A and B are shown apart, each in its own frame.
Chain A
Protein backbone atom coordinates (compact mmCIF):
# COMPACT_ATOMS: atom_id res chain seq x y z
CA UNK A 1 0.00 0.00 0.00
CA UNK A 2 2.81 2.32 0.95
CA UNK A 3 4.55 1.56 -2.35
CA UNK A 4 1.36 2.42 -4.24
CA UNK A 5 1.13 5.74 -2.42
CA UNK A 6 4.73 6.57 -3.21
CA UNK A 7 4.22 5.56 -6.84
CA UNK A 8 1.15 7.75 -7.20
CA UNK A 9 2.91 10.69 -5.60
CA UNK A 10 5.88 10.17 -7.92
CA UNK A 11 3.52 10.05 -10.92
CA UNK A 12 2.09 13.46 -9.95
CA UNK A 13 5.46 15.15 -9.54
CA UNK A 14 6.91 13.33 -12.55
CA UNK A 15 3.93 14.31 -14.69
CA UNK A 16 4.50 17.98 -13.90
CA UNK A 17 8.21 17.71 -14.66
CA UNK A 18 7.66 15.90 -17.97
CA UNK A 19 5.06 18.46 -18.97
CA UNK A 20 7.40 21.37 -18.26
CA UNK A 21 10.32 19.67 -20.03
CA UNK A 22 8.33 18.74 -23.16
CA UNK A 23 6.78 22.19 -23.52
CA UNK A 24 10.13 23.89 -22.93
CA UNK A 25 12.05 21.68 -25.38
CA UNK A 26 9.39 22.01 -28.08
CA UNK A 27 9.02 25.75 -27.66
CA UNK A 28 12.61 26.74 -26.89
CA UNK A 29 13.59 27.10 -30.55
CA UNK A 30 10.87 29.63 -31.23
CA UNK A 31 11.26 31.48 -27.95
CA UNK A 32 12.79 34.92 -28.32
CA UNK A 33 12.64 38.37 -26.83
CA UNK A 34 10.58 39.50 -29.81
CA UNK A 35 8.03 36.84 -28.97
CA UNK A 36 7.05 38.53 -25.72
CA UNK A 37 7.59 42.17 -26.70
CA UNK A 38 6.20 42.47 -30.23
CA UNK A 39 2.83 42.27 -31.86
CA UNK A 40 2.48 39.82 -34.75
CA UNK A 41 3.41 41.38 -38.07
CA UNK A 42 1.64 40.61 -41.33
CA UNK A 43 3.22 37.29 -42.11
CA UNK A 44 3.55 36.05 -38.54
CA UNK A 45 1.34 33.08 -39.07
CA UNK A 46 3.38 32.06 -42.09
CA UNK A 47 6.51 31.96 -39.99
CA UNK A 48 7.68 35.55 -40.43
CA UNK A 49 8.47 38.27 -37.89
CA UNK A 50 6.57 39.39 -34.84
CA UNK A 51 5.56 38.19 -31.43
CA UNK A 52 2.64 37.32 -29.23
CA UNK A 53 2.36 40.46 -27.11
CA UNK A 54 -1.28 40.75 -28.20
CA UNK A 55 -2.09 37.33 -26.73
CA UNK A 56 -0.05 37.86 -23.55
CA UNK A 57 -1.64 41.22 -22.78
CA UNK A 58 -5.03 39.90 -23.84
CA UNK A 59 -4.82 36.88 -21.57
CA UNK A 60 -3.74 38.98 -18.59
CA UNK A 61 -6.59 41.44 -19.20
CA UNK A 62 -9.17 38.69 -19.66
CA UNK A 63 -8.07 36.63 -16.67
CA UNK A 64 -7.47 39.69 -14.47
CA UNK A 65 -10.82 41.22 -15.34
CA UNK A 66 -12.72 37.98 -14.84
CA UNK A 67 -10.95 37.26 -11.52
CA UNK A 68 -11.74 40.75 -10.26
CA UNK A 69 -15.37 40.61 -11.29
CA UNK A 70 -15.85 37.07 -10.00
CA UNK A 71 -14.18 38.06 -6.71
CA UNK A 72 -16.58 40.95 -6.22
CA UNK A 73 -19.48 38.52 -6.64
CA UNK A 74 -18.00 35.45 -4.96
CA UNK A 75 -17.06 37.03 -1.62
CA UNK A 76 -20.60 38.10 -0.64
CA UNK A 77 -21.99 34.77 -1.86
CA UNK A 78 -19.44 32.84 0.21
CA UNK A 79 -20.23 34.99 3.26
CA UNK A 80 -23.93 34.36 2.78
CA UNK A 81 -23.30 30.62 2.82
CA UNK A 82 -21.82 30.80 6.34
CA UNK A 83 -23.74 29.67 9.38
CA UNK A 84 -23.79 33.25 10.63
CA UNK A 85 -25.96 34.38 7.73
CA UNK A 86 -27.73 32.04 5.30
CA UNK A 87 -26.31 29.13 7.20
CA UNK A 88 -27.39 25.60 6.51
CA UNK A 89 -30.85 26.68 5.53
CA UNK A 90 -32.51 25.25 2.43
CA UNK A 91 -31.93 28.50 0.61
CA UNK A 92 -28.19 28.40 1.30
CA UNK A 93 -28.01 24.77 0.26
CA UNK A 94 -29.79 25.65 -2.97
CA UNK A 95 -27.15 28.30 -3.65
CA UNK A 96 -24.41 25.81 -2.83
CA UNK A 97 -25.89 23.18 -5.12
CA UNK A 98 -26.27 25.73 -7.94
CA UNK A 99 -22.61 26.64 -7.60
CA UNK A 100 -21.62 22.97 -7.73
CA UNK A 101 -23.67 22.47 -10.89
CA UNK A 102 -22.26 25.63 -12.48
CA UNK A 103 -18.77 24.37 -11.63
CA UNK A 104 -19.46 21.27 -13.67
CA UNK A 105 -20.71 23.10 -16.77
CA UNK A 106 -18.10 22.85 -19.57
CA UNK A 107 -16.62 26.19 -20.49
CA UNK A 108 -17.59 25.88 -24.19
CA UNK A 109 -21.20 25.95 -22.98
CA UNK A 110 -20.55 29.26 -21.22
CA UNK A 111 -18.90 30.45 -24.44
CA UNK A 112 -21.91 29.51 -26.52
CA UNK A 113 -24.28 31.00 -23.94
CA UNK A 114 -22.30 34.24 -23.83
CA UNK A 115 -22.20 34.34 -27.62
CA UNK A 116 -25.99 34.01 -27.84
CA UNK A 117 -26.53 36.80 -25.34
CA UNK A 118 -24.03 39.00 -27.18
CA UNK A 119 -25.75 38.40 -30.51
CA UNK A 120 -29.04 39.30 -28.90
CA UNK A 121 -27.55 42.53 -27.52
CA UNK A 122 -25.84 43.28 -30.82
CA UNK A 123 -22.37 43.13 -29.26
CA UNK A 124 -19.24 42.09 -31.12
CA UNK A 125 -16.67 39.68 -29.76
CA UNK A 126 -14.81 41.87 -27.29
CA UNK A 127 -12.70 42.09 -24.15
CA UNK A 128 -15.88 42.77 -22.16
CA UNK A 129 -17.64 39.74 -23.63
CA UNK A 130 -14.65 37.53 -22.89
CA UNK A 131 -14.40 38.81 -19.32
CA UNK A 132 -18.09 38.13 -18.72
CA UNK A 133 -17.92 34.60 -20.14
CA UNK A 134 -14.78 33.82 -18.13
CA UNK A 135 -16.43 35.25 -15.01
CA UNK A 136 -19.16 32.65 -15.41
CA UNK A 137 -16.49 29.95 -15.63
CA UNK A 138 -14.55 30.98 -12.52
CA UNK A 139 -17.30 32.37 -10.27
CA UNK A 140 -18.46 28.97 -8.96
CA UNK A 141 -14.86 27.86 -8.42
CA UNK A 142 -14.03 30.95 -6.44
CA UNK A 143 -17.26 31.07 -4.45
CA UNK A 144 -17.08 27.43 -3.39
CA UNK A 145 -13.38 27.65 -2.56
CA UNK A 146 -14.07 30.75 -0.41
CA UNK A 147 -17.03 28.98 1.19
CA UNK A 148 -14.77 26.12 2.28
CA UNK A 149 -12.14 28.56 3.55
CA UNK A 150 -14.69 30.38 5.71
CA UNK A 151 -16.04 27.11 7.03
CA UNK A 152 -12.58 26.27 8.36
CA UNK A 153 -12.68 29.28 10.69
CA UNK A 154 -13.55 27.79 14.06
CA UNK A 155 -16.69 28.78 15.92
CA UNK A 156 -14.67 29.30 19.09
CA UNK A 157 -12.62 31.99 17.35
CA UNK A 158 -15.82 33.82 16.43
CA UNK A 159 -17.10 33.32 19.97
CA UNK A 160 -13.97 34.96 21.35
CA UNK A 161 -14.92 38.03 19.35
CA UNK A 162 -18.62 37.91 20.20
CA UNK A 163 -17.79 37.56 23.88
CA UNK A 164 -16.09 40.97 23.72
CA UNK A 165 -19.33 42.52 22.53
CA UNK A 166 -18.60 42.46 18.80
CA UNK A 167 -21.55 42.15 16.43
CA UNK A 168 -21.77 39.47 13.78
CA UNK A 169 -20.57 41.85 11.07
CA UNK A 170 -17.73 43.28 13.18
CA UNK A 171 -16.59 39.73 13.85
CA UNK A 172 -16.80 38.83 10.16
CA UNK A 173 -14.89 41.91 9.09
CA UNK A 174 -12.14 42.03 11.69
CA UNK A 175 -11.64 38.40 12.69
CA UNK A 176 -13.06 35.94 10.17
CA UNK A 177 -11.86 37.76 7.05
CA UNK A 178 -8.45 38.23 8.56
CA UNK A 179 -8.16 34.61 9.59
CA UNK A 180 -9.38 33.47 6.17
CA UNK A 181 -7.23 35.87 4.15
CA UNK A 182 -4.50 33.41 3.04
CA UNK A 183 -7.15 30.90 2.00
CA UNK A 184 -9.14 33.56 0.15
CA UNK A 185 -6.03 34.52 -1.77
CA UNK A 186 -5.55 30.89 -2.76
CA UNK A 187 -9.14 30.81 -4.01
CA UNK A 188 -8.50 33.90 -6.12
CA UNK A 189 -5.34 32.36 -7.59
CA UNK A 190 -7.15 29.14 -8.37
CA UNK A 191 -9.69 31.16 -10.31
CA UNK A 192 -7.03 33.21 -12.08
CA UNK A 193 -5.17 30.07 -13.13
CA UNK A 194 -8.35 28.58 -14.51
CA UNK A 195 -9.32 31.81 -16.28
CA UNK A 196 -6.00 32.42 -17.98
CA UNK A 197 -5.91 28.89 -19.36
CA UNK A 198 -9.44 28.65 -20.67
CA UNK A 199 -9.79 28.67 -24.46
CA UNK A 200 -13.34 27.50 -25.09
CA UNK A 201 -15.20 30.29 -23.32
CA UNK A 202 -13.28 33.11 -25.04
CA UNK A 203 -13.33 31.55 -28.53
CA UNK A 204 -16.57 33.25 -29.58
CA UNK A 205 -16.86 35.92 -26.92
CA UNK A 206 -13.45 37.62 -27.01
CA UNK A 207 -12.50 36.76 -30.58
CA UNK A 208 -8.91 37.11 -31.73
CA UNK A 209 -6.89 39.99 -33.10
CA UNK A 210 -3.32 40.96 -33.82
CA UNK A 211 -3.77 44.28 -32.05
CA UNK A 212 -3.96 45.34 -28.45
CA UNK A 213 -7.47 46.32 -27.36
CA UNK A 214 -8.05 50.07 -27.03
CA UNK A 215 -11.31 49.70 -25.15
CA UNK A 216 -13.46 47.10 -23.42
CA UNK A 217 -15.45 46.74 -26.63
CA UNK A 218 -12.51 45.76 -28.86
CA UNK A 219 -11.81 42.12 -29.61
CA UNK A 220 -8.81 40.68 -27.85
CA UNK A 221 -6.37 37.80 -28.36
CA UNK A 222 -5.48 35.20 -25.74
CA UNK A 223 -2.67 32.69 -25.22
CA UNK A 224 -4.78 29.52 -25.24
CA UNK A 225 -6.23 30.54 -28.61
CA UNK A 226 -2.77 31.46 -29.86
CA UNK A 227 -1.70 27.92 -29.05
CA UNK A 228 -4.80 26.50 -30.68
CA UNK A 229 -4.54 28.49 -33.94
CA UNK A 230 -0.81 28.04 -34.37
CA UNK A 231 -0.87 24.31 -33.71
CA UNK A 232 -3.53 24.07 -36.39
CA UNK A 233 -1.33 25.48 -39.16
CA UNK A 234 0.60 23.23 -41.53
CA UNK A 235 3.93 25.07 -40.95
CA UNK A 236 6.41 23.44 -38.53
CA UNK A 237 7.93 26.78 -37.46
CA UNK A 238 4.47 28.13 -36.57
CA UNK A 239 3.66 24.94 -34.70
CA UNK A 240 6.85 25.44 -32.74
CA UNK A 241 5.63 28.89 -31.84
CA UNK A 242 2.49 27.29 -30.44
CA UNK A 243 4.70 25.50 -27.94
CA UNK A 244 6.47 28.73 -27.18
CA UNK A 245 3.08 30.30 -26.48
CA UNK A 246 2.19 27.34 -24.27
CA UNK A 247 5.48 27.82 -22.46
CA UNK A 248 4.72 31.50 -21.82
CA UNK A 249 1.28 30.55 -20.52
CA UNK A 250 2.83 27.96 -18.23
CA UNK A 251 5.38 30.45 -16.89
CA UNK A 252 2.65 33.02 -16.21
CA UNK A 253 0.58 30.50 -14.27
CA UNK A 254 3.59 29.26 -12.30
CA UNK A 255 4.69 32.80 -11.47
CA UNK A 256 1.26 33.77 -10.20
CA UNK A 257 0.95 30.53 -8.25
CA UNK A 258 4.36 30.72 -6.59
CA UNK A 259 4.01 34.45 -5.90
CA UNK A 260 0.61 33.84 -4.39
CA UNK A 261 1.91 31.10 -2.16
CA UNK A 262 4.67 33.33 -0.84
CA UNK A 263 2.17 36.10 -0.17
CA UNK A 264 -0.24 33.68 1.52
CA UNK A 265 2.42 32.32 3.83
CA UNK A 266 3.42 35.85 4.79
CA UNK A 267 -0.18 36.68 5.56
CA UNK A 268 -0.72 33.55 7.62
CA UNK A 269 1.89 34.78 10.10
CA UNK A 270 -0.94 36.38 12.02
CA UNK A 271 -3.43 33.52 11.71
CA UNK A 272 -4.60 31.99 14.94
CA UNK A 273 -4.29 28.20 15.25
CA UNK A 274 -1.68 27.54 12.65
Chain B
Protein backbone atom coordinates (compact mmCIF):
# COMPACT_ATOMS: atom_id res chain seq x y z
CA UNK B 1 0.00 0.00 0.00
CA UNK B 2 1.41 3.33 -1.05
CA UNK B 3 1.33 6.36 1.10
CA UNK B 4 0.44 9.72 -0.45
CA UNK B 5 1.76 12.97 0.96
CA UNK B 6 1.35 16.40 -0.54
CA UNK B 7 3.98 19.07 0.05
CA UNK B 8 3.58 22.74 -0.82
CA UNK B 9 1.52 21.99 -3.90
CA UNK B 10 0.75 25.09 -5.93
CA UNK B 11 -1.08 24.96 -9.26
CA UNK B 12 -1.75 27.85 -11.62
CA UNK B 13 -3.65 28.01 -14.91
CA UNK B 14 -2.26 30.74 -17.17
CA UNK B 15 -0.75 32.38 -14.13
CA UNK B 16 -4.00 32.31 -12.13
CA UNK B 17 -3.51 30.23 -9.00
CA UNK B 18 -6.00 27.39 -8.53
CA UNK B 19 -4.26 25.79 -5.56
CA UNK B 20 -1.96 27.55 -3.12
CA UNK B 21 0.68 25.85 -1.04
CA UNK B 22 -1.27 22.75 -0.07
CA UNK B 23 0.38 20.31 2.32
CA UNK B 24 -1.11 17.31 4.08
CA UNK B 25 -0.94 13.52 4.26
CA UNK B 26 -3.71 11.35 2.89
CA UNK B 27 -4.48 8.58 5.40
CA UNK B 28 -4.06 5.04 4.05
CA UNK B 29 -7.05 2.74 3.66
CA UNK B 30 -9.60 5.33 4.58
CA UNK B 31 -12.05 7.47 2.72
CA UNK B 32 -10.70 11.00 2.51
CA UNK B 33 -13.38 13.40 1.37
CA UNK B 34 -12.34 16.68 -0.23
CA UNK B 35 -15.06 19.23 0.28
CA UNK B 36 -15.50 22.88 -0.59
CA UNK B 37 -17.51 25.20 -2.80
CA UNK B 38 -17.32 25.12 -6.62
CA UNK B 39 -14.06 26.42 -8.01
CA UNK B 40 -12.14 25.86 -4.79
CA UNK B 41 -9.60 23.57 -6.44
CA UNK B 42 -11.01 20.16 -5.46
CA UNK B 43 -10.87 18.68 -8.95
CA UNK B 44 -7.54 20.35 -9.74
CA UNK B 45 -6.13 18.71 -6.65
CA UNK B 46 -7.45 15.30 -7.61
CA UNK B 47 -6.06 15.62 -11.14
CA UNK B 48 -2.62 16.28 -9.69
CA UNK B 49 -2.60 12.91 -7.96
CA UNK B 50 -2.60 10.98 -11.26
CA UNK B 51 -1.07 13.80 -13.31
CA UNK B 52 -4.05 14.10 -15.60
CA UNK B 53 -3.44 17.78 -14.89
CA UNK B 54 -0.64 17.51 -17.50
CA UNK B 55 -3.26 17.35 -20.24
CA UNK B 56 -3.71 21.07 -19.87
CA UNK B 57 -0.79 22.88 -21.54
CA UNK B 58 -1.22 26.17 -19.75
CA UNK B 59 -0.91 24.70 -16.27
CA UNK B 60 2.06 25.15 -13.96
CA UNK B 61 2.60 22.87 -11.00
CA UNK B 62 5.01 23.57 -8.14
CA UNK B 63 5.66 21.61 -4.99
CA UNK B 64 5.58 17.88 -4.55
CA UNK B 65 3.21 14.96 -4.39
CA UNK B 66 5.08 12.10 -2.78
CA UNK B 67 3.98 8.54 -3.22
CA UNK B 68 6.06 6.33 -0.98
CA UNK B 69 8.57 9.14 -0.83
CA UNK B 70 8.93 9.52 -4.61
CA UNK B 71 7.88 12.81 -6.15
CA UNK B 72 5.45 12.08 -8.98
CA UNK B 73 6.23 15.43 -10.60
CA UNK B 74 9.96 14.68 -10.74
CA UNK B 75 11.26 14.81 -14.33
CA UNK B 76 12.02 11.10 -14.39
CA UNK B 77 8.75 9.95 -12.83
CA UNK B 78 6.92 7.28 -14.83
CA UNK B 79 3.48 8.79 -15.49
CA UNK B 80 2.00 5.62 -16.99
CA UNK B 81 2.79 3.47 -13.98
CA UNK B 82 1.62 6.26 -11.66
CA UNK B 83 -1.75 6.37 -13.39
CA UNK B 84 -1.99 2.64 -13.08
CA UNK B 85 -1.64 2.96 -9.33
CA UNK B 86 -4.35 5.62 -9.14
CA UNK B 87 -7.74 4.38 -10.27
CA UNK B 88 -10.02 7.17 -11.48
CA UNK B 89 -13.78 7.42 -11.27
CA UNK B 90 -15.03 10.54 -12.99
CA UNK B 91 -18.18 12.57 -12.56
CA UNK B 92 -19.89 11.25 -15.66
CA UNK B 93 -19.25 7.57 -16.38
CA UNK B 94 -17.02 7.31 -19.44
CA UNK B 95 -17.31 3.82 -20.87
CA UNK B 96 -14.92 2.99 -23.70
CA UNK B 97 -16.42 2.34 -27.16
CA UNK B 98 -16.26 -1.44 -26.86
CA UNK B 99 -17.98 -4.36 -25.15
CA UNK B 100 -18.46 -4.76 -21.40
CA UNK B 101 -15.78 -7.45 -21.38
CA UNK B 102 -13.30 -5.33 -23.34
CA UNK B 103 -13.90 -2.35 -21.07
CA UNK B 104 -12.72 -4.33 -18.06
CA UNK B 105 -9.79 -5.99 -19.86
CA UNK B 106 -8.63 -2.79 -21.56
CA UNK B 107 -6.21 -1.90 -18.76
CA UNK B 108 -4.83 -5.39 -18.10
CA UNK B 109 -4.28 -5.94 -21.84
CA UNK B 110 -2.36 -2.65 -22.06
CA UNK B 111 -0.15 -3.88 -19.30
CA UNK B 112 0.58 -7.18 -20.96
CA UNK B 113 -2.03 -9.69 -19.78
CA UNK B 114 -2.80 -11.80 -22.86
CA UNK B 115 -4.08 -15.17 -21.65
CA UNK B 116 -7.76 -15.66 -22.26
CA UNK B 117 -8.44 -17.54 -19.03
CA UNK B 118 -6.65 -14.94 -16.98
CA UNK B 119 -8.61 -12.11 -18.61
CA UNK B 120 -11.88 -13.91 -17.95
CA UNK B 121 -10.89 -14.31 -14.32
CA UNK B 122 -10.11 -10.61 -14.02
CA UNK B 123 -13.45 -9.68 -15.58
CA UNK B 124 -15.44 -11.81 -13.19
CA UNK B 125 -13.48 -10.72 -10.12
CA UNK B 126 -13.70 -6.99 -10.92
CA UNK B 127 -17.34 -7.06 -11.96
CA UNK B 128 -18.16 -8.86 -8.72
CA UNK B 129 -16.23 -6.28 -6.71
CA UNK B 130 -18.25 -3.56 -8.43
CA UNK B 131 -21.40 -5.64 -7.79
CA UNK B 132 -22.25 -5.66 -11.48
CA UNK B 133 -21.53 -9.32 -12.28
CA UNK B 134 -25.02 -10.64 -11.64
CA UNK B 135 -26.55 -8.02 -13.92
CA UNK B 136 -24.22 -8.45 -16.90
CA UNK B 137 -22.69 -11.93 -16.72
CA UNK B 138 -24.97 -13.12 -19.51
CA UNK B 139 -24.10 -10.34 -21.96
CA UNK B 140 -20.42 -9.55 -21.57
CA UNK B 141 -20.11 -9.10 -25.34
CA UNK B 142 -22.77 -6.38 -25.49
CA UNK B 143 -21.68 -2.77 -26.04
CA UNK B 144 -20.98 -1.05 -22.74
CA UNK B 145 -22.92 1.97 -24.00
CA UNK B 146 -26.12 -0.08 -23.73
CA UNK B 147 -25.90 -0.20 -19.93
CA UNK B 148 -27.79 2.25 -17.75
CA UNK B 149 -25.82 5.19 -16.40
CA UNK B 150 -25.65 3.64 -12.95
CA UNK B 151 -24.37 0.37 -14.38
CA UNK B 152 -21.89 2.28 -16.53
CA UNK B 153 -20.43 3.94 -13.45
CA UNK B 154 -20.01 0.56 -11.75
CA UNK B 155 -18.40 -0.73 -14.94
CA UNK B 156 -15.96 2.18 -14.82
CA UNK B 157 -15.16 1.22 -11.25
CA UNK B 158 -14.59 -2.40 -12.30
CA UNK B 159 -12.39 -1.22 -15.15
CA UNK B 160 -10.33 0.85 -12.72
CA UNK B 161 -10.00 -2.05 -10.29
CA UNK B 162 -8.80 -4.34 -13.09
CA UNK B 163 -5.38 -2.66 -13.24
CA UNK B 164 -4.94 -3.32 -9.51
CA UNK B 165 -4.58 0.25 -8.36
CA UNK B 166 -3.49 1.23 -4.88
CA UNK B 167 -5.74 4.23 -4.51
CA UNK B 168 -9.07 5.28 -5.99
CA UNK B 169 -9.56 8.88 -7.03
CA UNK B 170 -13.23 9.74 -7.30
CA UNK B 171 -14.44 13.05 -8.70
CA UNK B 172 -18.06 13.50 -7.62
CA UNK B 173 -18.74 9.94 -8.76
CA UNK B 174 -22.44 9.99 -7.93
CA UNK B 175 -23.22 13.41 -9.41
CA UNK B 176 -24.89 12.06 -12.54
CA UNK B 177 -26.53 9.02 -10.96
CA UNK B 178 -30.03 8.35 -9.67
CA UNK B 179 -30.37 7.94 -5.86
CA UNK B 180 -30.38 4.13 -5.95
CA UNK B 181 -27.30 3.86 -8.15
CA UNK B 182 -25.60 6.52 -6.05
CA UNK B 183 -26.33 4.52 -2.94
CA UNK B 184 -24.85 1.36 -4.43
CA UNK B 185 -21.66 3.25 -5.36
CA UNK B 186 -21.42 4.63 -1.82
CA UNK B 187 -21.91 1.14 -0.46
CA UNK B 188 -19.02 -0.06 -2.63
CA UNK B 189 -16.71 2.62 -1.26
CA UNK B 190 -17.41 1.40 2.26
CA UNK B 191 -16.29 -2.08 1.22
CA UNK B 192 -13.35 -0.97 -0.91
CA UNK B 193 -11.75 1.21 1.73
CA UNK B 194 -10.55 -1.91 3.52
CA UNK B 195 -8.14 -2.49 0.64
CA UNK B 196 -7.74 0.88 -1.04
CA UNK B 197 -7.06 4.47 -0.14
CA UNK B 198 -10.10 6.34 -1.42
CA UNK B 199 -9.92 10.05 -2.22
CA UNK B 200 -13.40 11.37 -2.83
CA UNK B 201 -14.17 14.83 -4.17
CA UNK B 202 -17.72 15.74 -3.33
CA UNK B 203 -19.90 18.78 -3.17
CA UNK B 204 -22.55 16.87 -1.26
CA UNK B 205 -21.92 17.50 2.41
CA UNK B 206 -24.22 14.71 3.49
CA UNK B 207 -22.26 12.26 1.35
CA UNK B 208 -19.07 13.36 3.06
CA UNK B 209 -20.75 12.84 6.44
CA UNK B 210 -21.85 9.34 5.46
CA UNK B 211 -18.59 8.16 3.96
CA UNK B 212 -15.60 10.12 5.11
CA UNK B 213 -13.09 9.02 7.70
CA UNK B 214 -10.98 12.05 7.02
CA UNK B 215 -12.07 15.46 5.79
CA UNK B 216 -10.22 18.10 3.82
CA UNK B 217 -11.77 21.51 3.27
CA UNK B 218 -10.60 23.70 0.38
CA UNK B 219 -11.67 27.28 -0.05
CA UNK B 220 -10.58 29.53 -2.92
CA UNK B 221 -7.61 27.33 -3.74
CA UNK B 222 -6.44 27.17 -0.17
CA UNK B 223 -6.37 24.21 2.20
CA UNK B 224 -8.31 25.62 5.13
CA UNK B 225 -8.58 22.65 7.42
CA UNK B 226 -8.12 18.91 7.49
CA UNK B 227 -8.60 16.27 10.12
CA UNK B 228 -10.58 13.21 11.20
CA UNK B 229 -14.13 13.57 9.91
CA UNK B 230 -15.91 13.23 13.23
CA UNK B 231 -13.80 15.85 14.87
CA UNK B 232 -13.99 18.31 11.98
CA UNK B 233 -17.73 17.93 11.55
CA UNK B 234 -18.51 18.42 15.22
CA UNK B 235 -15.89 20.97 16.04
CA UNK B 236 -14.33 22.80 13.08
CA UNK B 237 -11.51 25.09 14.07
CA UNK B 238 -11.64 27.59 11.21
CA UNK B 239 -14.59 30.00 10.91
CA UNK B 240 -14.74 29.40 7.14
CA UNK B 241 -15.15 25.65 7.68
CA UNK B 242 -17.86 26.36 10.21
CA UNK B 243 -19.68 28.61 7.76
CA UNK B 244 -19.41 26.01 5.01
CA UNK B 245 -20.69 23.21 7.26
CA UNK B 246 -23.55 25.42 8.40
CA UNK B 247 -24.41 26.19 4.79
CA UNK B 248 -23.69 29.91 5.03
CA UNK B 249 -21.23 29.57 2.12
CA UNK B 250 -21.71 26.92 -0.49
Contacts and interface: CB of A to CB of B under 8 A. Distances in A.
| Chain A bound to chain B | yes
Closest 3 CB pairs of A and B: A165-B84, A163-B88, A160-B94
Nearest to B110: A166
Interface of B: 50, 52, 55, 80-81, 83-84, 86-88, 90, 92, 94-99, 106-107, 110-111, 143-145, 156, 159-160, 163
A272 interface: yes
A177 to B, nearest CB: 9
Given A155-B55, A156-B94, A165-B107, A270 B145 contact: yes
A174 B106 contact: yes
A164 B107 contact: yes
Interface residues of A, number: 24
A271 B145 contact: yes
Contact of A272 (B87, B88, B96, B107): B96
A162 B160 CA distance: 11
A184 B90 CA distance: 28
A162 B97 contact: no
A159 interface: yes
Given A159-B52, A174-B106, A272-B145, A165 B94 contact: no
A164 B106 contact: yes
B96 A160 contact: yes
B96 A162 contact: no
B98 A156 contact: no
Nearest to B95: A272
Contact of B163 (A164, A273, A274): A164
Contacts of B97: 157, 175, 178-179, 270-272
Contact of B80 (A156, A159, A167, A271): A167
A254 to B, nearest CB: 29
Contact of B81 (A159, A165, A273): A165
Interface string A146-186: 00000000111101111111110010001100110000000
Contacts of B52: 159, 162-163
Contact of A164 (B92, B98, B160): B160
Contacts of B86: 163
A90 interface: no
Given A165-B81, A165-B163, A270-B143, 8 more contacts: A154-B94, A155-B55, A157-B97, A159-B94, A160-B94, A167-B80, A175-B97, A271-B97
Contacts of B107: 164-166
A159 B94 CA distance: 9
A269 interface: yes
A147 to B, nearest CB: 19
A156 B92 CA distance: 9
A161 B90 CA distance: 12
B145 A274 contact: yes
A161 B106 contact: yes
A168 to B, nearest CB: 10
Nearest to B107: A164
